[in-house]
Amino acid sequence: MPLALPHLTTAHGLTRTTILELFQSAEEYYTRLRIGTKRFDVLQGISVVLAFFENSTRTRMSFEIAAKRLSAEITGFQASASSVNKGETLLDTIRNIEAMHVDVLVMRHSSSGAHEFLRRHAGCRIVNAGDGQHEHPTQALLDAFTLTRKFGHLEGLKYCLVGDILHSRVARSNIPIFKALGAEVAVCAPGTLLPKDIASFGVKTFSDIDTAVAWADAMNVLRIQFERQDQGLIPTIREYTEWFGVKDHHLRLKPNIAILHPGPINRGIELEAIVADAAQSLILPQVEHGVAIRMAVLTALANDIRATRH
């Protein structure tokens, strides 16, 4: 039986088996894309709406390319040019989209929990492309896929997320997925950029970058989210970089470490420019893997749509 998923709103609850099945499917797509295959008919007859209510470059393009490669019928929805600006509620907007017989809604929204709400109230399939400070499950899947391809598996891998954990939906989805795959997970951040309930995440914490690098096999370096910083949580950017930035000398100390970053990068702030371009950096492979992962996710949704249509 091929993997069938009704929705993908959260990384919590995805089992190791489900994740590995998604990786197997992504690996097949990755290989076919690499040899130049551009079209698969898996989503033929399935309509996908891409609704991005928040800025995005990579994630939006990645979902669009993934859906196109799979031959879906795609509609882009520009929130800035929509009636959302005239005061329409999210549910009304989505009900109108649904009335046009949409099968899958891929959405990014600034409101944490928007997808869970729609999953309960909307009739179409919901894929979370980022909700506020809450979750970003496909980013976490592509991060884990990238490191699985590098290390063979994640069992026992020492994996550290560094930076603005408090505002990071990437961290909140990464932690359950890496734990489900058997990695040892840590976070490294100033106390002010850690969530108050960090103890309930079941992760190790580091408060300086040198100790974290010495411990880790792989680091996921998160962006300082300037747009979500309004309470002066870090004294100055220069000090943040000094204490938490990943630098060239860290790579010399740990030549086999793998460096991830979900993008967009603030070069010179959370990591030195030279680190982003170093041999240890998997930042561009992450982007390449993102398309394959999103194709695997959309395929699993299509399998469920077909199973319930018959």
Residues that bind ligand NCD (CB under 6 A): 58-59, 130, 136, 139, 169-170, 223, 225, 262-263
d(CA 13, CA 176): 8
Cβ distance to ligand NCD smaller for residue 58 or 254: 58
Number of residues that this document lists for the chain? 310
Alpha helices per DSSP H over the chain:
16-34, 58-69, 90-99, 114-121, 137-151, 169-180, 209-215, 237-244, 248-253, 273-276, 283-309
Cβ 132 to ligand NCD, closest distance in Å? 9
Report residue 74 as tokens. Answer: 């795609």
Q: Are 51 and 106 in contact (CB under 8 A)?
A: yes
CB of 120 to ligand NCD, least distance (A): 23
Question: Least distance to ligand NCD from the beta carbon of 235, Å?
Answer: 21
Q: Toward ligand NCD, which CB reaches closer, 58 or 95?
A: 58
Sheet holding 125-131, edge to edge: 73-78, 47-52, 104-109, 125-131
What the block records as the tokens of 128 is 């979370």
Pick from 123, 132, 127, 131: nearest CA to 102: 123
Dihedral (CA of 91, 93, 94, 99) sign: positive
If the CB atoms of residues 43 and 290 are measured against ligand NCD, the closer one turns out to be 290
Nearer to ligand NCD among residue 61 and residue 84 (C-beta)? 61
Those residues with Cβ within 8 angstroms of residue 1's Cβ, 6 or more apart along the chain or in another chain: none
State which residue, 47 or 173, has the beta carbon closest to ligand NCD.
173
Element of type H or E holding 187: strand 184-188
Q: How far is the CB of 296 from ligand NCD (least distance, A)?
A: 17
Residue nearest ligand NCD (C-beta atom): 223
With respect to ligand NCD, which residue has the nearer C-beta, 170 or 293? Answer: 170
Residue with Cβ nearer ligand NCD (139 or 299): 139
Query: Cβ 237 to ligand NCD, closest distance in Å?
Result: 15
Q: Could you tell me the sign of the dihedral formed by the alpha carbons of 87, 92, 94, 99, in that order?
A: negative
Tell the smallest beta-carbon distance from residue 59 to ligand NCD (Å).
4
Beta carbon of residue 131, minimum distance to ligand NCD (angstroms, whole number): 9
